[in-house]
């Protein structure tokens, strides 16, 4: 699986405060440590649509705050559960996004992990019902990283193929 982190041209990200490398390092470690038989997960930053994206890949947009929302631009439903990101279904596709300006790099990586779970399960299961650290809808996430529940759920997600495609029109 590839996890694409999409940064739209109108992202609104304050790059002086956002340390992408820390987010990348956390995600790479977390996604590749809990599922040894799931294959390597690559984290790739993109700034335009990715024609090689496969059905088992995930795309999470990184934007500054909810006013920069890709989902809102196309009229997809928002979420009030986690004010730092959400995943929405829109016209048979998924739009996942994380708002990075108001959160630490660790927290941004944790929310990306959370949104990947929503994305990979095509919103068909409520991940908030699991007793994980990153599955919780209650912030802040514990700084110890994903717990066993999170890792087991992510391993299942990595092995499954989502039913919906990834919306790439947010660039």
pLDDT band (50, 70, 90) for residue 36: confident
pLDDT at res. 14: 96
Alpha-carbon distance values, 88 to 35, 70, 97, 143 (Å):
26, 10, 9, 26
Domain regions of the chain by residue span: 2-166
Position 65 pLDDT exceeds 70: yes
pLDDT: is 82 or 149 the higher one? Answer: 149
Alpha-carbon distance values, 68 to 7, 14, 119 (Å):
11, 12, 20
- When pLDDT is averaged across residues 14-26 and rounded to a whole number, the result is 95
pLDDT at res. 139: 61
Q: Which CATH class is domain 2-166?
A: alpha beta
The predicted model scores a pTM of: 0.94
């Amino acid at each position: 699986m590839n996890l694409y982190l999409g940064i739209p041209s109108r992202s609104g990200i304050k790059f002086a405060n956002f340390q992408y490398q820390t987010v990348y390092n956390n995600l790479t470690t977390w996604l590749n440590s809990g599922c040894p038989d799931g294959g390597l997960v690559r984290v790739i930053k993109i700034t335009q649509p990715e024609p090689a994206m496969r059905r088992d890949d995930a795309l999470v947009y990184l934007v500054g705050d909810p006013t920069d929302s890709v989902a809102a631009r196309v009229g997809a439903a928002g979420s009030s559960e986690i004010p730092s990101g959400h995943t929405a279904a829109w016209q048979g596709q998924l739009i996942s996004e994380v708002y990075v300006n108001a959160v630490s790099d660790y927290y941004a990586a944790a929310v990306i992990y959370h949104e990947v779970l929503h994305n990979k399960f095509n919103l068909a299961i409520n991940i908030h019902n699991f007793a994980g650290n990153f599955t919780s809808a209650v912030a802040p996430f514990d700084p110890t990283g994903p717990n066993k529940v999170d890792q087991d759920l992510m391993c299942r997600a990595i092995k499954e193929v989502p039913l919906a495609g990834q919306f790439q029109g947010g660039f």
